[in-house]
Amino acid sequence: MKVVIAKTAGFCKGVRGAIEVTMNAIQQRQKGEDLCTFGPLIHNSQVLSMLAKKGVADESLIERCAGKKVVIRAHGIPPYSRQKLHEQGAILLDATCKRVAKVHAAIKRHARHGYNTIIVGDADHAEVIGLLGYTENRGAVINRAEQLDDFPPEWDKVLLVAQTTQNEEVFREIEEAFRKKYPNGIVKNTICDSTQERQAEVRQMCSKVEAMVIVGGHNSGNTLRLAEVAQDCRIPTFHVETQAELDPAVMGRYSCVGVSAGASTPNWIIRDVVDFLEAMDPGVGRKLRVRHLLDGLAYGNFFIALATALLVQTAAALTNLAGQASFSLMAAGYAFAMHSLNVYLDQDSIELNDPGRAAFYFKWRPIFMGSSAVCLGIALALAYQIGFPNFLAMFVLILLGVLYGVKLFLPSDWQRFPAKIKDIPTSKTFLVPMAWAAVCILPYFTDYRPVTVAYAGWIIFLLALVRTTMLDLLAVQGDRLVGKETLVVLAGEKNTLLFVVGALALLAVTALLGPFAGISTGFSYFLLVPAVIYGIFLKIGYARKLREDPIYEVMIEIVPIVTGLCAIGWNLTH
């Protein structure tokens, strides 16, 4: 089965903002502090379940919010509810979508001047209830053009707005009738741009596929609108929350299916639906088995350990020094242990990006912890065999790696500073490549050619930097939601894309200058190949909707592995 994925599917800015506010509140919560949301934060039961596990209650009664930190959900609330929450001693954290807040402001501004407000939307939807609160009791809700007949024709001050997730075609139909009845009335199309783009894309997709699957909460207004748009195109439409609701017998009738999703739907749920549909092709069984094997190797940090081990050989090829197997084993042990241990410091991000992977780590936690301890012991022993300075360097690297996610004890007047190394802005993006480079040149840093060794470390740093930043682009959704300070989160995806391009250009220039300056062997020229391959992968990955796919992660990890294998060949023949 061919599956076409909508480019606009998944979290919108408003949803991301609401979850960011909540996750920040969770991270900053003091002991004994109660945290809740006033009503469901977003319309997605899976995300709400994750928040519940973190102790974030979903309260619908104002009295139950007394004395708590209360997150105002993305849909917003009426002003009288906000006032009553303040009276109950609640501390409010406003996560209202900015687009919704703009509608609040528009209604409030016109209501002060005596305008009646007509809202196109669903009367029982949380957002609409909030909008009505700003109308000064001069508001009404409709969802059909003929309902305009219920209003007095003599109104001279009347405003027409829309629920931000309203069906664009329905609003246009009502707008046309409204202008005929109230030629002096004011119309503000307050449907969110994201909603309009999603609906337009679904209409386009319906002409290219045999059926549409819309993924999202059954009580999500914008998801329901997407399903309505597809149904209006007279195409079989299936609105599901998860892939478990799809019937294989029914879906097997189609050879080409489109998939879109509501603004509250995490990418991993969309990906599960896509995987389910693609797996219905009887010819993909073997591909799926290979995929599951690669997934397991990626989850187990096998590729990370192998890549680091082979980058030691890359350093040897660049410096013309001996690339002993023990050096590679030492680096692999360090990389495996550090990445495995730090997995458990990033559980929030992993769970939001890929719950299956989070479950894998939870199940095998004792194995990972035990094997990491063994690997660190082996790394220290091998470093000691090289020399005591190398042992001390390895000890420092391990200490810094262990402290990476540990809360530091800072003076009281330093509380504005990050409490953990991993909370330092862009720490993950730059410190991981620095650690890789350090451990790869650790066997050689006492060599009498420090410039050559430093050059090799710089090359490895750039390779690892590109690799890490590209992986950050994959995990941006979960990283953003838990507040992880990666370069992507701080600078945005487009700026990070430019940064990676710049790093690849710097890698290419450095590779060309090394032999010319006499500080590297001719193997340096070969590094132009991984630079080009990473550039191709970057273009492919940025265009993919579901970039968190483990297969794409494996593709990124394979580049330094192949580079290292070529370095072994170079070392054996030179």
CATH of the domain at 49: 3.40.50.11270
Q: What is the pLDDT of residues 268-286, one digit of tens each?
A: 788 788 878 877 765 555 5
What's the pLDDT score for residue 362?
82
Report which residue type is found at 2.
Answer: K
**Same-domain pairing of 219 and 356:** no
Helix (H) or strand (E) holding 239: strand 237-240
CB 55 within 8 A of CB 101: no
Stated length of the chain: 574
The whole-angstrom separation of Cα 15 and Cα 19 is: 6
Domain annotation covers residue 561? yes
CA distances from 368 to 299, 338, 371, 378, 442 (A): 11, 11, 5, 15, 25
Q: Which of 96, 119, 135 is the last residue of a domain?
A: 96
**Same-domain pairing of 77 and 199:** no
What's the pLDDT score for residue 177?
95
**Same-domain pairing of 321 and 200:** no
What's the pLDDT score for residue 486?
67
The whole-angstrom separation of Cα 503 and Cα 153 is: 64
Domain annotation covers residue 269? yes
**Same-domain pairing of 55 and 201:** no
**Same-domain pairing of 153 and 204:** no
Domain annotation covers residue 556? yes
Domain annotation covers residue 217? yes
**Same-domain pairing of 106 and 86:** no
What's the pLDDT score for residue 349?
59
The whole-angstrom separation of Cα 3 and Cα 211 is: 10
CB 315 within 8 A of CB 521: no
Domain annotation covers residue 2? no
What's the pLDDT score for residue 408?
60
Domain annotation covers residue 8? no
Does the pTM exceed 0.85? Answer: no
Which tokens sit at 136? 């000064």
**Same-domain pairing of 230 and 113:** no
Residue 206 Cα to chain centre, angstroms: 27
CA angle 231, 244, 555 (to 5 degrees): 95
User: Which residues lie closer than 8 Å to 208 by C-beta, 6 or more apart?
Assistant: 4, 256, 258
Report which residue type is found at 389.
Answer: P
Dihedrals phi, psi of 116, to nearest 5 degrees: -85, 140
The whole-angstrom separation of Cα 146 and Cα 176 is: 11
**Same-domain pairing of 447 and 302:** yes
What's the pLDDT score for residue 27?
73
CATH of the domain at 157: 3.40.1010.20
What's the pLDDT score for residue 484?
52
Q: What number of H helices and E strands is found in the chain?
A: 24, 12
Q: Which residue bears the tokens 């065999």?
A: 385
Residue 250 Cα to chain centre, angstroms: 32
The whole-angstrom separation of Cα 517 and Cα 510 is: 10
**Same-domain pairing of 409 and 356:** yes
CA distances from 247 to 161, 272, 535 (A): 39, 14, 40
Q: Which of 64, 96, 128 is the last residue of a domain?
A: 96
CA distances from 404 to 358, 440, 474 (A): 20, 19, 22
What's the pLDDT score for residue 431?
87
What's the pLDDT score for residue 418?
53
Helix 450-474 and helix 302-319: axis angle, to 10°?
Answer: 150
Domain annotation covers residue 379? yes
3-state secondary structure of 416: coil
The whole-angstrom separation of Cα 414 and Cα 417 is: 6
**Same-domain pairing of 78 and 111:** no
Quote the domain boundaries for residue 127.
100-191
What's the pLDDT score for residue 69?
93
CB 409 within 8 A of CB 363: no
Q: Which residues are catalytic?
A: 127
**Same-domain pairing of 396 and 300:** yes
Regions of the chain short of the pLDDT cut 70: 281-292, 294, 345-356, 405-423, 425, 475-486, 489, 542-551
Our count of domains for the chain comes to 4
**Same-domain pairing of 528 and 430:** yes
What's the pLDDT score for residue 37?
93
Q: What is the pairing mode between strands 69-72 and 91-94?
A: parallel
381: number of CA atoms within 13 Å, CB side? 9
Dihedrals phi, psi of 129, to nearest 5 degrees: -60, -40
What's the pLDDT score for residue 483?
46
Domain annotation covers residue 3? no
Q: Which of 57, 75, 96 is the last residue of a domain?
A: 96
